[in-house]
Structures are given as C-alpha cells and as structure tokens.
Amino acid sequence: MNSRSLDRRAFVTAASAFGGLALISSRAEGAVRVFASELGPVVDSPRVLLLVQLTGGNDGLSTIVPFGDDAYYAARPSLALAKKDVLAFDDYKGLHGSLVGLRKVFDGGKLAIVEGVGYPNPVRSHFKSYEIWHTADVRGRVAGEGWIGKLGDVAWSDGVDPNLVVHVGANVPYSLESKSHPAVAFVNPASYRWAGAKEDLDAYGKMGEDRAKDEKPIGEKDANLDYLRRVVADARASSQKIRAAVAHYTTTIEYPDDALGGALRDVAALANGGLGTRVLSVELSGFDTHTNQRNRHDQLMRQLDRALAALIADLERSDAGKNVVGLVFSEFGRRVKENGSRGTDHGVAAPVFVFGSRVKGGLYGKHPSLDDLDAGDLRHSVDFRSVYATLIERWIGVESAKVLGASYPTIPFLA
Amino acid sequence: MVLRLSIVCLGLAFGAGSSASDPQWNTRAAEHLLNRAGFGARPAEIEGAVALGREAFVDRLLAGFAPDYEPFYVERIDKPDRDELAAMDETARRETLNEIQRHDRRQLAQFAGWWVQQMLDGGHPLRERMTLFWHGYFTSSARDVKSSAAMIGQNELFRTQGLGHFGDLLRAIVRDPAMLAYLDNDQNRKGNPNENFAREVMELFTLGEGHYTEQDIKEAARALTGFVTRRGDADYVKGRHDSGKKTILGETKNFDADGFVALLLEQPACPKWLARKLLVYFEGREPSTARVDDYASFLKSRDYDVKAFLRKLFLDPKFYADDVVAARIAGPIDYLVGSSRRLAVEPPPAVLWLAAGQLGQRLLEPPSVKGWDGGQAWITTSTLMQRGNMAGMLLGVVKLEDVLKPEVLDDEPEAPESDGSMEPAMEPEADAARKKGDRKRPGMKGEFGQMGRMLDDGYSPAINLTVRCARLGVKSDGAIVDALADELLAVPLTSASRATLVEFLGSQRASLGIDDDALLGAREHSEPLLRRLAHLILSLPEAQLS
C-alpha cells in the first residue's frame, strides 16, 4: 500500500465520519481553503480549468470563415458561408454567424482565438488524433496518462479530494486518465448516488476500503479490484457533495434546455461549490460532418454558442467563476475541399478558443493559408501543446515541460 | 427455463465420468467459459457442462443448445418520397413524418428487448455473444442510420453469419444498408469520393493504423464507389462506380469493392488484427505477440473461419489461466444479463436495454465507429453506483423510477438533426416538457411504454432467496454470505468484503431481534434482508468482474 492510498483512505474515512458536509481542506497548490456551509462563503477560490471537447472534428473553415478568399468559395461550393452570414473581424475573415454570444465575449476582450492549431505529421484517425491531443504526445495512449493526469501529478501531488477532476457527461476523455487523480463523472447529478436502504450505506462505503493485509493476492485481478475499490470510495466521497452543490446552486442566467446547457450549468455550480475542483470537462459531439454539413454544423455552432455564452455570463457573477478558464478544442479540422456529399472529410489544423475573465482576448496564431496547402490540407502554425503550455504555466502555475515532456513557446492570451 | 434444464439433462446423459479424464475441466472453468462465450450461468448449467466434458461441451456450445429461433418480425413503413411529401400540406407532412419516426423508435426499442431476451434465454449464447461482438466491431448506430429496419437487418447478419467466415461477413458488410448509411458509403460516387468508409474499413475493420497511407484511403474510396441506399435497401449503380485503375497497398488494378476486400484479406496485418481483437474480447487482456501470431496463422490457414478460431480458443488451456478467469471488468450487458441469469429473475428485457444504456452500453447505438472501449472505461464513479442501483432494481429493493427514469428523461437530448430536407419535428409532448425545463429526450414513447408496463405491473422478482439458502443448508451469517456470494459472483469474496457483509447481516439480524442461525426461519424478515444482502453483493467491486 503506498502513501497515496493511505491518504485517500484517511480522507474518505474523515468524509464519511462527518457525514459528507465536513470540514475538508483541499491542499491544492496555492489555495488552502476551508469551507463549510455554516462558516460563510468560500475564501480564495482556486484557479479552475474547463475543457470543452467538440468531438468528431470541428470544421475550422466554417468556424473562422475566410469570406474574403475566392479559394474558399471555389473549394466549398455548397458549404461556404456568404459574407452576410459571418461576423467579420476584417475584410478577410470572421466568426461563424451563429456565434453571436461568443462574438460579444470576444468584443469584451475575454475570448482568445488561436488559429491554425495542430501538430506535425497529423493523423486523420479520430481516435489516434484524440489520443495525441489527450496525452500531448504523438505516441498516444502508450505514452501513459492523459495530460491532465500528468498535470495533476505535478501540480496537485498531495491533493486527495476525488472532486479535483470532474467530467460532466458519460464518456470520460482520456486526457483525464490518471493513476493518482482519476476523474469523477456523472451525467445527472440528481441520480448520482447509490440508491440502497439508508442503513445499508455504511456497508456500501466500506467496500471502497483497501485490501485487507491478510488477503491472499489473486493475481491480475488485483489491479482491476483495486481500481474498482477506489472508484467506490471516490463515489461515496463525491456523490453527496456534488448533488448538494448542484441542488443548492442558484443563478439568474438561463441556460439552453439541452444536454450541453445542462452540463455547463452543472459546471458553474461546481466551480462555485467550493469542492476543490480544479479541472472540469464536458463534451459536445456530432462534428463528424461527412454529409450535408451545412445545416448540421450551423446548428452545432448555435448550440455551442448559446450554452457557452450562458456559462460565461454566469461565471462573471462570482469570484469563483472569474477564476475559470475554458479551452474549446477538437481533434482535427476538416479537408479544405468539400467532398461529393455536401460534407467534408477529416483534415488537419483548426482554431481553438480560450475564454474566461482572466483571459487576454484577441486573435492569436495565423489564419491558415488556402493557397499553401499540404496535399489538400491546411498547414498548422501553432502546436496545440503551446496552448497547453500556456494554460499550465500561466494559469495553473507549474513548469509546463514537467507535464508535457518538452518545452513549447507560450502564447500571450494569459497575462 | 426449459432451455436451461436441457443443458443439465444432456450433461447427465453423456457426461458421467468424462470430467475425471480432464482435471482442468471443473466448475471454475465451465463457469468461465459460460461467462465469456455466453452471458453468465446458473449453478445447474455449470454442473451440466462439467459433466459433459470439455470437448463435448465446447462443441455443444458452438452448435447452440437450442439453435432454432424465430427471427424478429420487421414491419416496414415506406417513407413517402420527396415529391409525395412536397404535395402534402405542412400539417400532413409533419404528421406523416412524425408517425414514421415514432414507429421506427418503437420498433427499435422492441427489437432491442427481443435481442436481450435471446441473451437471457440462452438457447444459443455464443451466437448472441458473437452478434454483440460484431456489433461493437462493425459498428453502426441507429442515431445516424435512422432506420430500424436497416439496424435490425445488420444485427440479423451478425446473428446468422457471425460464426462463419470473416471474408463473407466483410463482403456482406460492404453492401449492408445500415453500414452504407452509417459511414456514408452510399454517398461515395465516381468523381465525388467520400472517404469515410474507406478509412474505417482499413483502420478499424481489417488492418489497423500504420498499415496503409492517406493515399491508399483516397484510392480505396474510389474502389468502393457505386453503392446507394434506396428506401432502406442497398443497391449498386454502375454509373456511380469509378472503374478506373487504382493503386492500393502497392497493387494497381481496376479494383471494385470485392476486389478491394480480397486485397485486404490477403494482407498479413488482417488476420493479426482480427485475431488480436477476438483474443482481447474473449480473454479481457492484451495477448502476447506470439499468441496473436499463432492465432492469426491459424485463422489464415482456415480461411478466416471464426467458429474454428473459437473452438481452438475454448480448448486452449491458456484461456483458463488464473489471470484470465474472472479478471475482466464485465460490460453493462454482461453485468445485467449475467446478474439476471445468476439471480434467476426475469425482468422485462427492454428495461435491461435501457439500464445498460445508462451504464454506457446502449445496444444499437454504440458511441462511435470504434465501438465500446471496455475494461476500466466502463467504470466511473457514476456508473459503478448505478450498477448497484440496477441490481437493486432487479432484486426489487430499489424502485425502478428511482434509478431509471431520471437519467432516461435526461438522456442526451441531442440537437434534433436536420439535413435541410424535411425532417420530422419534435413530438408535441416532448416540446412541452422542454419548455417546462425538463431535460427530456424527445419522443422515446416506445421505451416509456415498456417501462410504464413494468411500473404498472409492479415488477417484483420471482425469486425466494430464503428457500434457496435453506436448500443449500446454510444457517449462520457467514455461511449465508458465502452461499449467496458463490451463486452471484464469478470471483471468491475477498476477506475484507466478506467481513463487511457478515457484519452487516449480523447487525441487521440482531436489530430485528432474530437469534444467530434463526434468520431463515423468520420468513417475514428474512427475504427482504437477504435481498438487501444480495444487493450489496452485486454492488461489490468483486461483482464487476466476470
């Protein structure tokens, strides 16, 4: 048994002894805090990172639209957005016309757009490319934990709270893969609980305890069993707190009535809930637009915009909310030339968004040229690991090379 | 029930003495085989398998215990074509399209229940196991295919050919209507290629990443042109096929789809890819390179005969190694169908479909073309607690509406898709619910119908754990815990879990004023308490392994 599992066990025991709403300090780096419902508001909120994944490969050219380029209309006869459907930045390019809320955030200086983000020798497989984004390593999963997992090892090595990393949704992305800080996850906070009889809960909680000393090892099963035990313990420790945080959260902001809107409302609740959460994650899928892309992508942009605009407005209302920085990314962009079915196939570079009260808004990177293509694909100008490095160094405040395995130039979207 | 009995009888008829000659063929091995090749087993089935002897039992398994089945009857509603729709007024068009969509969803839910029932019945567990394997391998999702008939047709392809030759299956999947729609190959035509299927067929179905180039994908897409879907059926239009020369994987020819498939089957990477996938699926761990190579060359020498592959595997002592048996985290379908079979409860099968969906394995809607990741990815803090809740529901100690309804109502209301053509609008009641602020999945009436019936009928499991324990001759808290754990788990209880459960049972028994060893005699108390105990057992970390 290593010291970490002892920590976790002690933590869980303490948590259940106090019946959930205990005085628990999260010794997260740079922010020692104490909270309790009776003791008034949370003091000194920690810096939180929110990941918004657009699954399927978001079309960069339909997100930041080069309406001033004839080559764009030549390559996209049925998909191109007309100038009137674009929120122009200048004579050449602008935001997709549905991103009205994000445009306001951009104009308010709280949205940074990094253009032309990708990596060398791009892979056009959804799964492999996500592995690369999730591990920040071209080898993918064989390289080990996700980049957030590695970040946790460096930044919060002594943090034992299971709510440190939370995914709101069904499929936990590999970026959160971690031996020491695995993510807790839920779809619906109200049913995030074990529903047995009250008197049986104690016995349920004990199932998460470490293996007894006298227990005979049972070979390979041990790894899975230990994993399952820890998940039981994390579930017990997080379930009540997360349900309480979401149930007690009130806001004047109206979120869109869809899955992403609901998930982002939960994100705001957790960011304001004083749970010690440092990383939050959500997903919007449906971006693999091989056929009839136009309407579908328009709708996705609208959906994304409404939900993010609501979240950003909501986060502005509190100090804890102002300490959230969000990253919106996708595994790749799409081919420049549309395919034979009014859609686009897998491509390469695309823009990412970074938003938040502390973000220095504006355009970063370089809009990829439509004249200088690499076998029909855009060329990237910014390595996505530069975006990560910036978030790691300037937001979380640890050395990025320790997390990423190498140094990447930072981008000045965080002061 | 009849089917289950027949296995036992066969065992008794043929089996006497045969297990003695094979010391490795015991209850542990038989249970393992029935967990992996089927969906869990009752003690009597395990004993029957042991009595029959390994080789005889494996051959019975490959043939199916009761292989005949009545295929699901697929009702087809023809969608009006564009002209007919255009001739309707707005209200009539909406109503027509809504009706089609409702019918389609209802039929899909009914079929999902039918499939789960096949797993529960156990007439040909391996056939249903392979149907599930191929469903996660050659994935298509009802969300994208939008035709219950096509999804059911693909499932039936897996059911009828899933134990046949991989090459036949691959040729069939190339022209399968659901696959054509799912990976857009019905859009792929001469001069206007769509690469989606060409990429995935190499990356996920035959070779694996690193065994082809981007240029191969572009050329393969040309070879795959010509297919269309019409009213849910596949067709081939010669004029849409690009009959020119293509260079794929170093060979230049006028490849068409079948020529391309033949080329894929010849690649050394192909049998390795399939062998590894099957080994990982059935053994639940990464096989050694040598083991993959061994099984790959066997597969190649047998012309990709899947049944021969599985026979070899099920007779391979390594399949029964300690680090394989019950070392795998069971998927939601395995957990739910397996728990139902071990408990001998008979829940409405569509409820298991919904429950599995909530646990991350929604049949007929795999999350992506890669299928389900499996292993530890099944387990999150949320799904692990939910598994316990579902088990509680099977046992009647947790109310259905407490565990299933909230998340079904909240389940993923994806943006109603519109491709610009005339799509059915959302159902009026779903619309109203959205306005009220419920995060409700639009229009899942077929599902709620099934659940509604379960709620109305007041599902209660037809089991009597008190009698079961009494028959096993157990009395003390410790013996009761051991007996139930032995029936319900694939692994022995760890000592820590056992101590927790014995303490639980003892303290609850004492608080009811019942003496040591007297629980089974106190009928009005014993059954609810034993069900709570079984609920805890099925919520254990150990219960997730099989």
**pLDDT tens across B255-305, in order?**
999 999 999 999 999 999 999 999 999 999 999 999 999 999 999 999 999
| Minimal-distance CA residue of chain A relative to B397 | A196
Report d(CA A216, CA A224) in Å as an integer: 15
Domain total in chain A? 1
The 10s digit of each residue's pLDDT in A279-338 is 999 999 999 999 999 999 999 999 999 999 999 999 999 999 999 999 999 999 999 999
Q: How far is A24 from chain B (nearest CA, A)?
A: 20
At A20, the pLDDT band (50, 70, 90 cuts) reads very low
Residue A283 confidence (pLDDT): 96
- Which chain A positions have a beta carbon within 8 Å of B510's beta carbon? none
Residue B445 confidence (pLDDT): 37
Q: How far is A307 from chain B (nearest CA, A)?
A: 13
| Minimal-distance CA residue of chain A relative to B438 | A257
The 10s digit of each residue's pLDDT in B326-365 is 999 999 999 999 999 999 999 989 889 989 998 999 999 9
Q: What is the ipTM of this complex?
A: 0.86
Mean pLDDT of B96-104: 87
Report d(CA B334, CA B78) in Å as an integer: 36
The C-alpha angle with vertex A70 and arms to A67 and A75, in degrees rounded to 5, equals: 95
The 10s digit of each residue's pLDDT in B376-390 is 999 999 999 999 999
Residue B446 touches chain A, beta carbons under 8 Å: no
Give how far Cα B301 sits from Cα of B295, B297, B320, Å. Answer: 10, 6, 24
pTM for this entry: 0.82
Q: Higher pLDDT residue, B530 or B431?
A: B530
Is residue A44 included in any domain, yes or no?
A: no
| CATH number for position A255 | 3.40.720
Residue B295 confidence (pLDDT): 98
Residue B452 confidence (pLDDT): 56
pLDDT at A41 over 50: no
Residue B417 touches chain A, beta carbons under 8 Å: yes
- Which chain A positions have a beta carbon within 8 Å of B193's beta carbon? 339-340
The 10s digit of each residue's pLDDT in A158-199 is 877 889 999 999 889 999 999 888 899 998 888 899 998 888
List the single best residue of A191, A289, A297 to mutate versus B (max B Cβ within 10 A). A191
| Minimal-distance CA residue of chain A relative to B431 | A257
The 10s digit of each residue's pLDDT in B71-80 is 999 998 777 8
Q: In sequence order, which residues have a C-beta less than 8 Å from that of residue B45 and are 6 or more positions away?
A: B4, B7, B8, B34, B122
Q: How far is A251 from chain B (nearest CA, A)?
A: 15
Mean pLDDT of B194-199: 95
Report d(CA A146, CA A134) in Å as an integer: 5
Report d(CA B481, CA B486) in Å as an integer: 8
| Residues spanned by the domain of A239 | 3-19+49-404
At B402, the pLDDT band (50, 70, 90 cuts) reads confident
pLDDT at A8 over 50: no
Residue B288 touches chain A, beta carbons under 8 Å: no
Is residue A412 included in any domain, yes or no?
A: no
Taking the CA atoms of B463, B469, B473 and B475 in sequence, report the sign of the dihedral they define.
negative
Please count the helices (runs of H) and the strands (runs of E) in chain B: 28, 4
pLDDT at B31 over 90: yes
Is residue A168 included in any domain, yes or no?
A: yes
Q: How far is B271 from chain A (nearest CA, A)?
A: 21
- Which chain B positions have a beta carbon within 8 Å of A141's beta carbon? none
pLDDT at A129 over 60: yes
Domain ranges of chain B: 2-63, 465-544
Is residue A409 included in any domain, yes or no?
A: no
